[in-house]
Amino acid sequence: MNVVIVGDGPEELEWARWLVEHDDHRLAAAFPGFSEPGFDGVPRANDLDDLLARPGVDVAIVGGPIDQRGESLRRCAAEGMAIICLHPPGADSEPYYQVALSRAETGAVIIPDLPLRLHPGVAELNESMASDEFGAFRVVRLEADSGALGVDLVRVVLPQFVDVIRALLGEIEALSATGDPPGDKPDLELIVQLRAASIRRAELRIRSGLESINRLSVNGAGGSLTLEFDRMLEHPATLIRQTSSLPATRETLEPWDGHEAIFSALLGARGMRGAGVLSAAGLHDATRAMELSEATARSLRKGRTIDLHYEPISEEASFKSVMTSTGCMLIIGALLIIPLALAGPPLGLNWTIYLAYLILPVLVIFIVLQTLRFAVRRSEPVETSTPKDAPP
């Protein structure tokens, strides 16, 4: 497989090293390229246009600075490429929305780089929840570190970890968050309480730059099962079983390759191989993770619990939303224009009376657009959520 990489950060470098170690894949080009030893023979593209113009490219790994990643993703998707997108794609879910609405036309296949939900240890946690191995389920807890100081805990780190909680609990219906320091940009610690259907709860605690062992645990009335893993999933993980009646036992799992799991998921989505990979995070899951990040920022800002109400997103639905907002603005504008038009003549400003004549043509144009819906295509909806403040 011929693979190109956009970006030169630590995550992109790990993907490049993985590709170099596998003879059945070839790193065909990179932009802006890698200066580390071992990549001297990898062609460097001059820009993104040059990279996308390379012949025979099978897969693109899209990374780069987070503020530019969304545009790179959009352009690669417009070429109909098979894409592994480093997550998150930006500060919000907008980049995923853009490619979700257009990929039916371009044929692009997009897999977010969220390997943790595919880990064998997570599968065991899921099985323990389904079998009530530790009694009635109580809560899922995830303790994670950011990996470095100064990383945005809400918009960068949380979206990478909250996906595995969704994989275990299902759709999140409400959340509340606290941070240190207070505000919507905590940089020391972030604690998020999440609630799914049937009052199934989870707690996500992210600490800044401690480089400690991450722990994901399922807690029941009679014990718990905990997965200890490193942030990059490079070392063997450990499962710890603890019950109220027996001493804790530790089981070291076999080494596991997260890059291989994501690549197999991409090939399976394209129908090449690995078609049995059904639980990999897709565009829908990645979008949900970004929406939860946005809701967390709002909870921190408002100091309230945020309820999430899911609704389909498509070009048609987006058009309706825009037209609803426009209609409200037109009503408010009419209410302001009429008094202004009537107040002008007594003040010697006779021209203001003509402002009232603008109302009817604008309303007619609005009704025509609303009825005919020019250039709006009917497409398969992509579900999303609208966060709302819960009653205090």
Q: What CATH number corresponds to the domain at position 79?
A: 3.40.50.720
Give the model's pLDDT for residue 305.
95
Q: Which of 112, 114, 104, 208 is nearest to 152 (CA)?
A: 208
- 165 pLDDT band (50/70/90 cuts)? very high
Structure confidence by residue, pLDDT tens digits, 333-342: 888 888 888 8
Same-domain pairing of 149 and 99: no
Same-domain pairing of 293 and 318: no
Residues 210-216, mean pLDDT to the nearest whole number: 86
Same-domain pairing of 58 and 149: no
Give the model's pLDDT for residue 362.
85
- 268 pLDDT band (50/70/90 cuts)? confident
- 139 pLDDT band (50/70/90 cuts)? very high
Q: Which amino acid is at 283?
A: L
Structure confidence by residue, pLDDT tens digits, 16-54: 999 999 988 999 999 999 988 888 889 999 999 999 999
- 345 pLDDT band (50/70/90 cuts)? confident
Q: Is the pLDDT of residue 199 over 90?
A: no
**Which has the minimum average pLDDT: 1-5, 153-157, 215-219, 359-363?**
359-363
Largest distance between two CA atoms of the chain: 91
Give the model's pLDDT for residue 377.
52
For residues 251-274, one letter each, b for 16 or more C-beta atoms within 10 angstroms of the residue's C-beta and e for the rest, the string is eebeebebbebbbbbbbbbbeeeb
Residue 80 CA to its chain's centroid (Å): 21
Q: Which two tokens stand for residue 175?
A: 């959340």
Same-domain pairing of 120 and 188: yes
Q: Is the pLDDT of residue 171 over 90?
A: yes
Q: Is the pLDDT of residue 271 over 80?
A: no
Q: Is the pLDDT of residue 272 over 50?
A: no
**Which has the minimum average pLDDT: 56-70, 110-124, 277-291, 315-329?**
315-329
**Is the separation of the CB atoms in 385 and 92 below 8 Å?**
no
Calculate what percentage of the chain has a pLDDT beyond 90: 57
Same-domain pairing of 360 and 286: no
Residues 61-74, mean pLDDT to the nearest whole number: 94
Average pLDDT, the chain: 87
Range of the domain at 356: 310-386
Give the model's pLDDT for residue 175.
97
Last residue of a domain, one of 304, 337, 362: 304
Structure confidence by residue, pLDDT tens digits, 227-261: 999 988 989 999 999 998 888 999 999 999 999 99
Same-domain pairing of 204 and 180: yes
Per DSSP, helices labelled H in 170-282 are: 258-269
Sign of CA dihedral 112, 113, 117, 118: positive
**Continuous segment of H or E residues that includes residue 306:** strand 306-313
**Is the separation of the CB atoms in 82 and 270 below 8 Å?**
yes
Give the model's pLDDT for residue 114.
95
**Is the separation of the CB atoms in 141 and 240 below 8 Å?**
no
Q: Is the pLDDT of residue 378 over 50?
A: yes
Whether 220 is in a domain gets the answer: yes
Same-domain pairing of 291 and 382: no
Same-domain pairing of 125 and 245: yes
Number of domains within the chain = 3
Cβ atoms within 10 Å, residue 43: 14
Q: Which of 101-105, 126-130, 148-152, 156-160 has the highest mean pLDDT?
A: 156-160
Give the model's pLDDT for residue 380.
47
Same-domain pairing of 105 and 174: no
Structure confidence by residue, pLDDT tens digits, 90-135: 999 999 988 887 777 788 999 999 999 999 999 999 999 988 889 8
Give the model's pLDDT for residue 115.
95
- Here the CATH number for the domain that contains residue 193 is 3.30.360.10
Same-domain pairing of 132 and 250: yes
Q: Is the pLDDT of residue 149 over 90?
A: no
Same-domain pairing of 166 and 289: yes
325 or 288, which is more confident: 288
Whether 265 is in a domain gets the answer: no
